[in-house]
Amino acid sequence: MIGVILALIFLRHCAGQTITVQPMSINTTINSTVNFTCEGVGTEITFRLQFYGENETRGATDEVAINRGFSFETSNDNDARTAQLQGTAYEFNNNTSIRCRVDTNNASLSSDVAILMIQGLLDSVVDLDYTFINGSNLMD
pTM of the model: 0.75
CA gap 113, 47 in Å, rounded? 11
Tens of pLDDT, residues 93-132: 999 999 999 998 888 999 999 999 999 876 655 555 555 6
Tens of pLDDT, residues 58-88: 999 999 999 999 999 999 988 799 999 999 9
Taking residue 116's Cβ as centre, other Cβ atoms within 10 Å add up to 25
Q: Which domains does the chain have, with CATH numbers?
A: 17-119 (2.60.40.10)
